[in-house]
Structure 1
Amino acid sequence: MRTGWASPDQSVNSARAEVADFAFIRRQKLSAAFPGLRLVIPAGVVKVRNNDCDYRFRANTAFVHLTGMNAGDITPESVLVLNPTSAGHEALLYIHPRNDRNEETFYRDRRHGEFWVGPRLSIADAEKIYGIKVCDVKELQSLLDQKAESILMRGEDSFVDQHIAAHARENDLITALSELRLIKDDFEIKQMRHAVDATIKGFNDIVKALPEAVGHPRGERVVDAAFYGRARVEGNELGYDTIAASGAHACVLHWIRNDGVVKSGDLILVDAGVEVESHYTADITRTIPVNGKFSAAQRKIYELVLAAQSAGIAAVKPGAKYRDINNACMRVLAEGLHDLGVLTISAAESLKTENGLHRRWSVHASGHMLGLDVHDCAKARSDQYLDGVLQVGEVLTVEPGLYIQPDDQLFPAEFRGIGVRIEDDLLVTATGSENLSAKLPRTVSDIENWIVELQK
């Protein structure tokens, strides 16, 4: 097996990646928060799907953020270590480096051998591309055996978990890693734009696929597949499982089975995002009339949700409270529901915390932070996120919705089974906000024209 091969072409474009300088700054910020402590952030391990088949690997978000590595360059079981020095920390990246045909693992290791999974970066190339000292992961144990007070991002790699004792500040590390992602740097904003643009292409694909979906017994899967193809062509993967919810399925908030029919005359709610190679994801929702035209009832609910979203978008500006976004959306929804005659109390009364009757039809919050995770920065302290103020450079969604269950007798029959959500991705700017997904139609007339144009 080891003889009779030509010399392999191991040439790689090892130019320093644009992200390298940004990742260095991120590591410096983390270092300053934990002086004298060794910090260990594993990329994670593969997860078994069935028997000897694994899920496609997706590295731990904190590891991605601090190394800047693209999806195709990361190997499972990689680990980032920030080792304390007198000047702060030295970053050490442990990877499974490229092997060659003289190593038995090349042929026998189905998870790491290049005969099985293809070539990886060499240590030298990884160092040049990402601007960080790189070591073979085989050397990791010897470092961990050098006793030092260490904080581990626990639960990502059982081997590493076994070698590092629990530390009282582990939760502090999780919080710091989450808050470090709240304000996006210039590279991250560029990647978010890329993810949004790819996602918009995916929504165009969905509209083009609707006629085929109508004629298929599992039309939602046709829609799902159309977007998934775009995600794989334009990026790394889906940012999260696509929701392709036609008809009353739109009233199921996390409908990801996507196995229903798509009927002319119904709406289809699609919540989807492309994760690009840098792991940043968009998160956009559109509710689309399958036959290209909103009915009177559909239009009434849609325009109420659109008005709520517009109010939420208007609330996005630096210095505003994060909760102002949800409050603005809910105020419009409650007033609209009152005007429709379904609230038994005034909108003002319903909006009081102890009442909330309007929440029967809108049970989720109207947005969240967005970035490497679709629900990014989730472990940030409340005063930095949910109860904090908006800051320039944050990226978030605004996504109000109304969901009228098919058996909801408080609404007239023509509204039952209608679910509408509209979601866009906003960048907080010095003067307010920028809707990164503004190119995707939002209004009734623009959506109807969009469908006509793409289905010519």
Structure 2
Amino acid sequence: MFQTSIYQNRRGILSKNIQDGILVFPANRELGMNFADNVYHFRQDSTFLYYFGIDQPDIVGVLDTDTGEEIIFGDELSIDAIIWMGALETLASKCEKAGIKDVRPKKELAPFLEKAKRNQAIHYLPPYRHDIQIDLSLWLDLPINLVNKKASIPFIKAVVAQRSIKEEVELVELRKAVDITNQMHLKAMEMAQPGVEEAEIAAELQRIAQASGGQLSFPSIVTKNGEILHNHYHGNTLKEGDLLLVDAGAETAMHYAGDMSRTMPVGGKFSQRQKEIFEVVYGAHQTAIEGLRPGERFLDRHLAAAAALTDGLKDLGLMKGDTQEAVAAGAHTLFFQCGLGHMMGLDVHDMENLGEEYVGYTDTLQKSKEFGLKSLRLGKELEKGYVITIEPGIYFIPQLIDQWKANKHLEQFINYDVVETYKDFGGIRQEEDFVITDNGYELLGEEIAKTVEAVEKEVSR
């Protein structure tokens, strides 16, 4: 946990921003794998961690913005639990570290809320787990199909505004996460050799993350089929000439995330065609980074990267026509179907459960519904303290190519005969993590190999 004052200050700021009613923070519960006592790995709710820091299941935090009361509802371990789990730190002790003096049994929560809702507004965030959705339905006497619809928009907006700006103590944790993530990617480059199985690399990445005291920040993407954007299949054996795309990250013991991608040549040498596409992606990556600063719309960095990709693909004969017209029409999305990046923090896609329309956009900048842009998680102006990823890529998806070609879609910008020859190429992605500073940006962690020459050298060690 951080210092007590950090959690107290965070809750104080939030209460001032809401100024009306009760704020309810359900912690996550243990979830059984095949019976109640054989549980999945526990991961605490990130917003609960942010305001309370208590990494324990089945408790609920309550802030009364009218009276200033701060309460944790939860129970100490029973003797049966102690027999199996040992004498762990008490809930009372954890609450003291979070600056919470009022700790009450969990059974008192429902009557507390029943009484409060007669005279006060009850605010909660949209639940993403069904058990919490059921709890809120019972506590607040709401039909379950209305629970998410009744989530508090002011609460969501206040949390997003606060969690978006990373404190220095958070940046320390994020740098740790990225440093561990760097180690994972360097190990992947070392292992990218003919005869190695994807599963072996994925297992080693998980070992590094856990050996550092944390976990993976998301399921690792380790694949020679990089055209599948979120490919979690690890059943292939690498061979000379393959491209290996690795998108993976570590989470620290305090649950802050790292998220990086590298694409590498199995055996240590890119083919000419692989090198050409790699350098187009690298150029777009650098173009996107150059404009990172407070006040810059992330949407504009995305479009700048898309233009750089288009220019590079035109040079290789895959695209044609005016670059800006092609990007405006969305022609580049045949090759770049996703967004340039996202916010990162306690979640690898930070606060995604609160809604991208609130995290990445504003009342005046609405999220697009167009193909490609609809996958851009962040579009609004950057601010000092934002932590973001930059991850342009080029992906040759055979089914998408076939569909567009059959419909002659945007053929004024695409040389389909040339594109046909790339259908077995796969995909290339490059990703790094940045914090926005007063006048620009800072790369989190040390820079690891990302040019053609540097990646080849690292794989060939």
TM tier, smaller? 0.7 to 0.9
Distance 1:154 1:119 in 2: 34
CA 1:144 to 1:433, structure 2 compared with 1: closer, same or farther past 3 Å? same
Q: CA deviation at 1:221?
A: 0.8
Structure 1 residue 312, shift from structure 2 partner: 0.5
User: 1:208-287 counterparts in 2 under 5 A?
Assistant: 208-211=190-193, 214-216=194-196, 219-246=197-224, 249-287=225-263
Give the drift of 1:328: 1.5
Which AA in structure 1 matches 2:115? Q
Q: Distance in 1 between matches of 2:3 and 2:326?
A: 48
Distance 1:439 1:342 in 2: 31
Tell me the alpha carbon deviations over residues 168-196 of structure 1, each in whole angstroms, 9 at most, x when there is no partner.
56233233323321111111111110110
Q: Number of paired residues?
A: 412
Partner of 1:445: 453
The match for 2:321 among 332, 341, 345 is: 345
List per-residue Cα deviations over 1:265-305 (Å, max 9, x = no partner).
Answer: 11100001111111110110000111111111111000110
- Alignment partners' CA distance in 2, 1:313 and 1:119: 49
SS at match of 2:62: strand
User: Paired residue for 2:161, among 159, 176, 179?
Assistant: 179
Unaligned 5+ residue runs, structure 1? 1-16, 100-104, 108-112
Structure 2 contact 242–265 (Cα < 8 Å) conserved? yes
User: Gapped runs of 5+ residues in structure 2?
Assistant: 366-377, 402-416
- Partner in structure 1 of residue 334 of structure 2: 360
Q: CA RMSD in A?
A: 2.3
Q: State the match for 2:386 in structure 1.
A: 394
Give percent identity, aligned residues only: 29
What secondary structure sits across from 1:264 in the alignment?
A: coil
Secondary structure class of the residue paired with 1:39: strand
> Matched residues in 1 for 2:168 and 2:70: separation?
22
Counterpart code for 1:303? E
By how many angstroms is 1:222 displaced?
0.9
Counterpart-to-counterpart distance in 1, 2:240 and 2:89: 50
Q: Does 1:424 align with 2:432?
A: yes
Q: Partner of 2:373 in structure 1?
A: none
- Quick one: structure 1 residues 134 and 243, their matched pair in 2 at CA, closer, same or farther if it must change by over 3 Å? farther
Partner Cα separation in structure 2 for residue 322 and residue 90 of structure 1: 39
Secondary structure in 1 aligned to 2:63?
strand
* Secondary structure, aligned partner of 2:388: strand
1:193 matches 2:175:
yes
Q: Equivalent residue for 1:331? A: 307
- Please give the per-residue CA displacement for 1:341-381, whole angstroms capped at 9, x wherever unaligned: 122433222011xx211110110011111111111144326
The 2-side partners of 1:348 and 1:307 are apart by: 17
Distance 2:56 2:96 in 1: 17
The letter of the residue matching 1:232 is Q
Alignment counterpart, residue 290 of structure 1, candidates 266, 269, 272: 266
Query: Are 1:152 and 2:121 matched, yes or no?
Result: no
Match of 1:435 among 418, 427, 443: 443
| Distance 1:116-1:171 versus aligned 2 partners, 3 A rule | farther
Say whether residues 1:80 and 2:80 are aligned partners: no
SS in 2 for 1:411: helix
C-alpha distance in 1, partners of 2:110/2:339? 44
2:69 match: secondary structure: strand
The Cα shift of 1:437 comes to: 3.9
Residues 267 and 460 in structure 2, CA contact (< 8 A), matched pair in contact too: no
What residue number does 1:131 align with?
A: 99
TM-aligned CA deviation for residue 234 of structure 1: 1.2
Matched, 1:117 2:117: no
Change (3 A) 1:176 1:106: same
Structure 1 length normalisation: TM-score?
0.84
